A = this chain, B = another copy of it.
Amino acid sequence: MHLNLFIMGCGHHKAAWREPNSAVERMGDIRYYESLARTAERGKLDAVFFADGHAAGNVAGGPQWFLEPLTALSAMARATDHIGLISTISSTFFSPFHAARMLASLDHISNGRMGWNLVTSMFDSEARNHGWEAMPSQHIRYARAEEFAHTVLALWDSWADDALRCDRQGQFADPSKVQPIGHHGEHFLVDGPLTVPRSPQGHPVLFQAGASEPGRNLAARYAEAIYAVAYDLPSAQAYYQDIQARVRAAGRAPVAIMPGLVTYVASTEAAAKAQQRELDERLPTEDSLHQLSQFIGQDCRHWELDAPLPELPPLEAFAGPKGRYATILRIIESEAPTLRQLLGRLAAGGGHCTMVGTPEQIADKMQHWVEGGGADGFNLMPPTLPGSIDDFIDQVVPLLQARGLFRREYTGSTLRDHLGLSRPAA
């Protein structure tokens, strides 16, 4: 089983920062993030992971973005020895040369522990920070993402593994082993070679998350591990089977699929539920309505709280992130909740799988998902940080280890080692 810690502000619950002992004053303090990375390493997790966004958003409702991920991860690399470090990279806003260069540099700095989560950005407010009046179409964004991945990988291959000679009487590097890539595509012109010699992993590990049709296809062709959104096991299984079929069709070996997982752990189920309820109650309705408005791409702040929801447009008609929207449609279809009830379901993790209970109950469910073909591991989204991740690592990880489902010690030194991925040839 593979486990990543998805770091987000004071935790994934929108009210996490409102807890009396939250670290909200430390959002700009790198030592907070270093400490979370060390906690993840104490739990022998595969990696820590940062999402990313390019617009400030609703700054009143809680911390969302603060430190930039690549600069934060460099410091976190130096505060740890084993844990992998994954940054989201927007193919919409980054240039492949900058991305390839920074990720390769971080792979050197971390001695082979970097990964990247390749995304397409989606919001007009972000586009307007990067030169566009509005987002380009989904078609263009995915075409650009594919060309982006291709170009970044080519840049990482522009230095052979044995290019460096360090021959004091001769050459620093063998020029015949440092070759341009000559990429002249539709979205990018990049001659290469990169300015950074080939890094310890060759390629930092490529994560991808995509629920839309082009997102799934991109993942099938390029991803080495996949983040998923799955509210329940059947939807996880359906996603898993669909993706692995596309991966096979692309002629590739199966890739690790890691759904997001929100956990509330306590010594009794009742105590865990109370933990969740207490946190839910801290969230002003206004904030949850704002969050739901973002998730469904329309303003629901004036809808009736205790009435059933108005009918939402079908998945095909929704232009935003598909996975979460599909989950919301699924909840509405299966449970016909009132607006207030739906807000409760979405308060932490926004529709990702939520497990609430004793350590044994949670370990059981995780095992059930993995053995049931719904997941190869999880992208942990603790409702509060560091509280919920401490609980998980101290109480759930030992059970997973005792069952032989999770490593007791790191057996390799790179993120590729942790994920069982081979090092790509240049």
Binding site for B on A (CB under 8 A): 17-20, 22, 24-25, 27-30, 34, 53-56, 58-68, 70-72, 74-75, 77-79, 93-95, 97-98, 101-102, 104-106, 108-109, 125, 128-133, 163, 166, 168-169, 171-175, 178, 188-197, 199
Partner of A66, one of B18, B71, B93, B196: B196
Most chain-B Cβ atoms within 10 A of its Cβ — which of A29, A65, A172, A189?
A: A172
Assembled-state Cα–Cα distance A133/B74 (Å): 33
Partner of A55, one of B19, B62, B130, B195: B195
Do B131 and A95 touch (CB < 8 A)?
yes
Q: A56-B192, A70-B70, A131-B188 are in contact. List 6 more A-B contacts (CB 8 A).
A: A66-B197, A68-B104, A71-B74, A75-B75, A131-B189, A131-B190
Known A97-B129, A130-B97; judge A75-B78 contact (CB<8 A): yes
Residues of B close to A70: CB separation below 8 A: 70-71, 102
Known A168-B19, A175-B60, A189-B131; judge A71-B68 contact (CB<8 A): no
Known A56-B178, A71-B71; judge A28-B108 contact (CB<8 A): yes
Residues of B close to A24: CB separation below 8 A: 166, 168, 172
Most chain-B Cβ atoms within 10 A of its Cβ — which of A74, A95, A102?
A: A74
Known A71-B105, A168-B24, A178-B56; judge A128-B78 contact (CB<8 A): no
Residues of B close to A68: CB separation below 8 A: 101-102, 104-105, 195-196
| A285 shortest CB reach to chain B, Å | 14
Known A78-B79, A173-B60; judge A191-B20 contact (CB<8 A): no
Partner of A168, one of B20, B106, B166, B173: B20
Most chain-B Cβ atoms within 10 A of its Cβ — which of A56, A102, A128, A174?
A: A56
Residues of B close to A62: CB separation below 8 A: 172
Do B189 and A133 touch (CB < 8 A)?
yes
Partner of A189, one of B102, B104, B132, B196: B132
Closest to A62 in B: B172
| A57 shortest CB reach to chain B, Å | 8
Do A108 and B67 touch (CB < 8 A)?
yes
Assembled-state Cα–Cα distance A131/B94 (Å): 12
Known A60-B174, A174-B60, A175-B60; judge A128-B18 contact (CB<8 A): no
| A408 shortest CB reach to chain B, Å | 29
This chain's copy number in the assembly: 2
Could you pull out 12 A-B pairs where Cβ atoms are within 8 angstroms? A17-B172, A18-B169, A30-B108, A59-B172, A60-B171, A68-B101, A68-B195, A70-B70, A71-B109, A72-B109, A75-B75, A93-B95
Partner of A194, one of B34, B56, B64: B56
Partner of A178, one of B59, B67, B133, B175: B59
Closest to A190 in B: B129
| A197 shortest CB reach to chain B, Å | 7
Closest to A53 in B: B195
Assembled-state Cα–Cα distance A199/B27 (Å): 12
Do B163 and A59 touch (CB < 8 A)?
yes
Partner of A196, one of B29, B65, B108, B199: B65
| A283 shortest CB reach to chain B, Å | 12
Residues of B close to A55: CB separation below 8 A: 195
Assembled-state Cα–Cα distance A264/B251 (Å): 60
Residues of B close to A173: CB separation below 8 A: 59-60
Residues of B close to A169: CB separation below 8 A: 18
Residues of B close to A171: CB separation below 8 A: 59-61
Residues of B close to A17: CB separation below 8 A: 166, 168, 172
Assembled-state Cα–Cα distance A72/B108 (Å): 10
Partner of A191, one of B66, B79, B104, B128: B128
Closest to A175 in B: B60
